[in-house]
């Protein structure tokens, strides 16, 4: 009986820890893009280009390259 109770407690604790992990790992956008900085309005925010915030999904190489290409501007003058 004691082994059975210990096994149930172990499974329950493991399940709760597994389900809690995504909640602990989330970081707000203020970590990546602080609010007290003046950003260049010509550079789009990542969420406006990809449709999701940083850290919610992984980007493929071509998505990163296309985002970096939006940073290029014609020379001034």
Residue 55 lies in a domain: yes
Residue 74 pLDDT > 80:
no
Residue 63 lies in a domain: yes
Residue 59 lies in a domain: yes
Residue 33 lies in a domain: no
Residue 77 pLDDT > 60:
no
Residue 34 lies in a domain: no
Range of the domain at 10: 2-26+39-69
| Domain tally, the chain | 1
Beta bridge partners of 54: 57
Residue 62 pLDDT: 93
pLDDT tens-digit series, residues 4-63: 788 888 888 888 777 776 666 666 767 777 788 887 877 888 888 899 887 788 899 999
Rounded alpha-carbon distances, angstroms, from residue 12 to 7, 8, 73? 9, 6, 55
Residue 22 lies in a domain: yes
pTM: 0.48
Residue 31 lies in a domain: no
Residue 34 pLDDT: 78
């Amino acid at each position: 009986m004691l082994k059975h109770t210990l096994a149930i407690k172990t499974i329950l604790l493991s399940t709760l820890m597994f389900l809690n992990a995504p909640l602990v790992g989330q970081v707000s956008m203020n970590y990546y893009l602080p609010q007290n900085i003046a950003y260049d309005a010509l550079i789009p925010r990542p969420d406006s280009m990809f449709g999701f915030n940083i850290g919610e999904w992984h980007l493929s190489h071509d998505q990163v390259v296309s985002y970096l290409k939006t940073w290029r501007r014609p020379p001034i003058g």
